[in-house]
């Protein structure tokens, strides 16, 4: 009879052999990032360039377009961090305060990195005093995309702070017109106010097929904090105290309340489709905008490539304009989101990791990456090169919006996601339950203060 040991011992040997299999070699550098699709192909191209410059070094891109933060945190907690990782602006305080990002300032010379070569707000986001905890990759301000065809059909294209286009036609007839991608000129005069925006949004609302339902909207409701905070700033308000240690008096302050009222009124008056109470927002917004069902779309630079093909095909007449400002003020303040290359202090190949981070943030890498069109290069010289090659002036328009824009609060306040999660309640409670904005804002501000011990 066959003994049980005769089965057990070989199996145990196989398992032991598997456990002793060789690991990765020391010349492999792991980079954590969230790129996907074409963007990942471009990052691979950048990595290939680095490999060509450093024979024997292999760069592995560990990309997680979804669940990036979970994956990164888990790898760090498990003691196996990547050599280089992409640090998103809202994660900066968490990573810096816990010592998870190496101070790269001592290596500036060696990496030929000059902070003054980078847009000021972007560099500041990753700095604490003289220390620099990531090398800026790229960034974007939030802007308004305007469907000029829709606005022209309603006769309100003139309200836009861009030059009127000859031969403007609604989307249905736009195939005969030259495809256009226009933007507010960098030196556009101030005066694009909430009043203008609302007038334009109101004018386009229409039931085109006569079925009693609105088919063309002015805007879609900006439910999330990252979308509506420019409106608060543009009304002279803010959501936190200047040093980021208090919400009461700010999140429920007069400027913030004006912004909430303005935005909720857009929804209540039927200028937007019904609000979607989810973080990802209305999944149909971009399709609706591109197909002529919506006049304005609030987004960042990353949306530009989405519309590129439509503009090329003459199906979309697109303008990029600043976020409107409160009538009592002269200009809007947009919000910036940036990312940078960071190195964990316990990176397995620290020197090579620092070198790779430097390369990933270098002008060469940024030039390659700029082809994706997803964001503005963090280096001013590369951004200027890209803008110079853009006859439509789109890049110039984006760059012009950087001046006066502010980095997200998340780049300074730890656990900001908690504030974002609570803050969405303010306007939700108004739209869902009809509560007063002042009382819901005061309640949320109190809860933020209590939760953060402010």
Q: How far is CA 404 from CA 77, 119, 233, 386, 401, in A?
A: 38, 12, 11, 21, 7
Residue (17 or 77) nearer to other proteins, CB: 77
Contact call for residues 414 and 430 (beta carbons, < 8 A): no
Phi, psi of 56 (to 5 degrees): 95, -15
Find the binding residues for other proteins in span 289-318 (CB under 8 A). Answer: none
Give the range of 91-99, 143-151, 329-337, 368-376 binding other proteins by CB under 8 A. Answer: 91-99
Q: Least distance in Å: CB of 338 to other proteins? A: 17
Residue among 51, 62, 103, 443 that touches other proteins (CB under 8 A)? 103
| 433 lies in the binding site for other proteins (CB under 8 A) | yes
Shortest reach from residue 73's CB to other proteins, in Å: 5
User: Using the rule CB under 8 A, which residue among 27, 245, 328, 439 binds other proteins?
Assistant: 245
Binders of other proteins among residues 163 to 202 (CB under 8 A) are none
For residues 100 and 108, the answer to whether their CB atoms sit within 8 Å is no
67: three-class secondary structure by DSSP:
coil
Cβ closest to other proteins, residue 7 vs residue 312: 7
Q: With CB under 8 A as the contact rule, which of the stretches 93-101, 174-182, 250-258, 320-328 interacts with other proteins?
A: 93-101
Return the range that interacts with other proteins (CB under 8 A); candidates 98-106, 139-147, 163-171, 332-340: 98-106
Residue 136: how many other CB atoms lie within 10 Å: 28
- Three-state SS letters, 196-240: HHHHHHHHHCECCCCCCCCCEECCCCCCCHHHHHHHHHCCCCCCC
DSSP assigned state of 319: E
- Residue 38 as a binder of other proteins (CB under 8 A): the answer is no
Q: What is the x/- site pattern for other proteins, positions 109-148, by CB under 8 A? A: xxx---------------xxxxx-----------------
Backbone angles phi, psi at 401, to 5 degrees: -75, -15
Q: 88 to each of 57, 93, 133, 205, how far by Cα in Å?
A: 26, 10, 12, 37
Task: Please report whether residue 439 would count as binding other proteins according to CB under 8 A.
Answer: no
What are residue 136's DSSP bridge partners? 340
Q: Output the six-digit token pair for 125.
A: 């986001």
Residues 324-363: x where in contact with other proteins by CB under 8 A, - otherwise, as a string: ---------------------------x--xx--x-----
Q: How many residues bind other proteins (CB under 8 A)?
A: 59
The answer to whether residue 429 forms part of the interface with other proteins (CB under 8 A) is yes
Binds other proteins (CB under 8 A): choice among 1, 2, 5, 52: 5
> Contacts by 444-449 with C-beta closer than 8 Å and gap 24+?
444/247, 444/251, 444/252, 445/247, 445/248, 445/249, 445/250, 445/251, 445/252, 446/248, 447/422, 448/247, 448/248, 448/251, 448/418, 448/419, 448/422, 448/423, 449/246, 449/247, 449/248
Binding residues (CB under 8 A) for other proteins: these are 3-5, 7-8, 11-12, 15, 69-70, 73-74, 76-77, 94-100, 103, 105-107, 109-111, 127-131, 213, 243, 245, 273-280, 283-284, 351, 354-355, 358, 415, 417-418, 421, 425, 428-429, 432-433
């Amino acid at each position: 009879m066959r003994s049980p040991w005769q089965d057990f011992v070989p199996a145990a040997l196989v398992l032991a052999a598997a456990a002793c299999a060789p690991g990765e070699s020391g010349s492999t550098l792991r980079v954590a990032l969230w790129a996907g699709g074409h963007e990942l192909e471009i990052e691979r191209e950048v990595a290939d360039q680095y490999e060509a410059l450093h024979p024997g070094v292999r760069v592995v891109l560990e990309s997680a377009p979804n669940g990036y933060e979970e994956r990164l945190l888990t790898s760090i907690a498990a003691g196996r961090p990547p050599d280089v990782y992409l640090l998103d602006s809202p994660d900066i305080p968490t990573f810096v305060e816990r010592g998870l990002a190496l101070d790269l300032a001592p290596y500036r010379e060696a990496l030929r990195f000059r902070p003054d070569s980078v847009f000021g707000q972007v560099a500041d986001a990753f700095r604490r005093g003289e220390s620099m905890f990531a090398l800026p990759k790229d960034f974007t301000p939030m802007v308004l995309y305007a469907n000029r065809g829709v606005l022209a059909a309603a006769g309100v294209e003139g309200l836009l702070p861009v030059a009127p286009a000859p031969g403007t036609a609604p989307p249905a007839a736009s195939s005969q017109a030259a495809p256009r991608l226009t933007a507010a000129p960098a030196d556009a005069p101030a005066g694009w106010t909430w009043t203008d925006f609302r007038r334009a949004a109101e004018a386009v609302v229409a039931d085109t097929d006569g079925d009693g339902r609105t088919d063309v909207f002015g805007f879609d409701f900006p439910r999330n904090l990252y979308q509506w905070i420019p409106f608060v700033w543009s009304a002279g308000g803010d959501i936190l105290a200047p040093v980021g240690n208090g919400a009461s008096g700010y999140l429920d302050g007069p400027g913030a309340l004006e912004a909430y009222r303005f935005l909720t009124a857009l929804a209540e008056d039927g200028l937007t489709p019904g609000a979607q109470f989810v973080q990802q927002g209305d999944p149909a917004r971009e399709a609706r905008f591109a197909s002529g069902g919506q006049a304005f779309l609030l987004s960042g630079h990353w949306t530009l490539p989405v519309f590129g093909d439509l503009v090329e095909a003459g199906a979309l007449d697109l303008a990029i304009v600043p976020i409107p400002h409160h009538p009592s003020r002269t200009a809007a303040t947009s919000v910036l989101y940036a990312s940078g290359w960071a190195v964990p202090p316990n990176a397995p190949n620290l020197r090579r990791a620092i070198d790779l981070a430097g390369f990933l943030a270098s002008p060469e890498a940024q030039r390659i990456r700029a082809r994706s069109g997803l964001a503005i290069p963090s280096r001013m010289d590369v951004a200027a090169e890209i803008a110079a090659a853009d006859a439509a002036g789109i890049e110039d328009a984006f760059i012009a919006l950087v001046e006066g824009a502010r980095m997200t609060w998340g780049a300074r306040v730890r656990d900001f996601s908690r504030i974002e999660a609570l803050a969405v309640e303010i306007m939700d409670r108004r739209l869902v339950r009809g509560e007063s904005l002042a009382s819901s804002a005061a309640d949320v501000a109190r809860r933020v203060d209590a939760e953060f011990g402010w």
